[in-house]
């Protein structure tokens, strides 16, 4: 056959059986009964005939296919097996950090972590973009520290330390499997990246709660209904943002005013029951009526839960508008616990039960009581307290 051209290949007919056309020297094209056109290099090495796939037309055009063939032909001419060389190059190409962390996540994290989503987010948002293309054999501690410095410079030192911890685990996995001799993160200290982390003590004052609540109920923002109500629900219930974000409507019994959080969504790995005061029910049903979805906090199109980045981003935007010292979604949970104790004088054990904390070992052994009646009373009192605090006629009273 004459030299391949785009038009000649595009006009090749499909037959009942596959057939081949050959330009010469082993540069071939196979046409399948379904019309698939595949480039091959056909050659013999040590007496064995090999059909080495080059690519598929039209994704790989004639010029690219011919160049790849010529490169392979030169390898064969030098006395080497092109198939072996291609496999070696492919292994080298895939022996990068992206491949490592992807395999580590699939083979270990997904199987052994109750909540692997945080690790997945770090891999997708930070590790792969910053370090993914680096080959494992060449990556050094300075490459990792520079990448982590990028995270620190954007104002996230604590998150940088979390990413460092994830990288340490991933590299240890590679060492244990013989893919690396040394862990390049072994001498990198968190204190030298994001600094020493101090336990947060931030909780919103009653005045700050009023300012925040009035702002959310105003027309001075473009915050979605899901985000606006999520902030209020976390403040009213003390639940973790992840527990609320992943919640499905099937978990809620509105008639019994009860939300049952499944074990797979709970940080403790235990089923958690949350009483719903009327205000919380109102906030949940308001979303349900406006967005059709199986999720309590759906995405815009209703097909998936709200993104784990949406709430923190919204909170940061709110802080740019309000004169309130920096706070995070998790600080709402701390505010809930603090105010229940200081303003309502709720028993500390009841507060711990409301938060879903595991009790100390001795207490857990002898106290199996979930204290649902006491928790119900506490949550109703807190809902009423917030209602009275903001004194907004547009809200449903928690009677």
Residue by residue, DSSP assigns 111-154 as HH-S-THHHHHHIIIIIHHHHTTSBTTT--HHHHHHHHHHHHHT
Q: In the chain, which ranges are E strands?
A: 19-24, 27-31, 37-45, 48-57, 252-253, 258-261, 272-275
Query: pLDDT tens digits, residue range 10-63?
Result: 888 989 999 999 988 899 999 998 888 999 999 988 888 889 888 888 888 899
Mean pLDDT, all residues of the chain: 87
Average pLDDT value for residue range 295-306: 88
Residue by residue, DSSP assigns 238-254 as ---HHHHHT-BGGGEET
118-122 contacts at long range (C-beta below 8 A, 24 or more positions apart): 118/162, 119/166, 121/308, 121/309, 122/162, 122/163, 122/166
Average pLDDT value for residue range 90-108: 79
Q: How many CB atoms lie within 10 A of CB 278?
A: 17
Read off the pTM: 0.60
Between the ranges 44-58, 140-154, 193-207, where is the mean pLDDT highest? 140-154
Q: What is the pLDDT of residue 56?
A: 87
Confidence of residue 90 (pLDDT cuts 50, 70, 90): low
Q: What are phi and psi of 287, to 5 degrees?
A: -65, -45
Query: pLDDT tens digits, residue range 316-363?
Result: 888 878 888 888 898 999 999 999 999 999 999 999 999 987 765 544
- Could you check whether the bond before residue 261 is cis, i.e. omega within 30 degrees of 0? no
* Complete domains list, the chain, with CATH: 6-94 (3.30.160.390), 97-192 (1.10.150.130), 206-390 (1.10.443.10)
The proportion of the chain whose per-residue pLDDT surpasses 70, expressed as a percent, equals: 92
For the sheet containing 37-45, what is the strand order?
19-24, 27-31, 37-45, 48-57
Between the ranges 80-94, 241-255, 380-394, where is the mean pLDDT highest? 241-255
Given a cut of 90, whether residue 145 has pLDDT beyond it is yes
- Residue appearing with tokens 């947060």: 200
Distance, CA of 171 to CA of 13 (rounded, Å):
52
Q: Residue 337: which of 357, 311, 318, 322 has the closest Cα?
A: 357
């Amino acid at each position: 056959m004459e030299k391949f051209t785009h038009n000649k290949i595009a006009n090749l007919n499909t037959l009942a059986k596959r057939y081949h056309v050959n330009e010469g020297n082993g540069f071939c094209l196979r046409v399948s009964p379904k019309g698939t056109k595949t480039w091959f290099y056909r050659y013999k090495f040590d007496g064995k005939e090999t059909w080495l796939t080059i690519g598929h037309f039209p994704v790989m055009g004639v010029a690219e296919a011919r160049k790849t063939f010529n490169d392979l032909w030169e390898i064969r001419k030098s006395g080497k097996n092109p198939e072996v060389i291609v496999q070696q190059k492919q292994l080298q190409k895939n022996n990068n950090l992206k491949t490592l962390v992807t395999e580590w996540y699939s083979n270990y994290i997904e199987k052994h972590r109750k909540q692997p989503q945080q690790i997945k987010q770090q891999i997708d948002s930070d590790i792969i973009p910053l370090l993914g293309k680096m080959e494992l054999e060449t990556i050094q501690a300075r490459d990792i520290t520079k990448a982590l410095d990028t995270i620190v410079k954007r104002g996230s030192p604590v998150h940088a330390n979390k990413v460092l911890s994830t990288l340490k685990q991933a590299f240890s996995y590679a060492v244990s499997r013989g893919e690396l001799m040394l862990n390049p993160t072994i001498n990198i200290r968190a204190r030298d990246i994001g600094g020493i982390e101090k336990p947060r003590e931030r909780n919103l004052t009653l005045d700050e709660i009023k300012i925040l609540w009035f702002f959310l109920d105003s027309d001075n923002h473009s915050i979605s209904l899901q985000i606006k109500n999520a902030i209020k629900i976390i403040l009213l219930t003390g639940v973790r943002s992840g527990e609320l974000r992943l919640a499905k409507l099937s978990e809620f019994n509105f008639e019994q005013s009860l939300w049952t959080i499944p074990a797979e969504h709970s940080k403790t790995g235990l089923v958690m029951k949350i009483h719903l005061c009327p205000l919380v029910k109102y906030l949940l049903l308001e979303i349900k009526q406006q967005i059709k979805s199986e999720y309590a906090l759906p995405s815009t199109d209703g097909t998936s839960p709200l993104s784990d980045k949406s709430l923190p981003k919204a909170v940061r935007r709110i802080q740019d508008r309000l004169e309130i010292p920096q706070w995070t979604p998790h600080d709402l949970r701390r505010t809930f616990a603090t105010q229940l104790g200081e303003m309502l004088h709720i028993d500390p054990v009841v507060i711990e039960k409301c938060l879903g904390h595991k009790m100390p070992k001795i207490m857990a052994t002898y106290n199996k009581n979930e204290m649902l009646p006491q928790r119900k009373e506490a949550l109703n009192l807190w809902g009423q307290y917030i209602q009275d605090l903001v004194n907004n006629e547009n809200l449903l009273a928690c009677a």
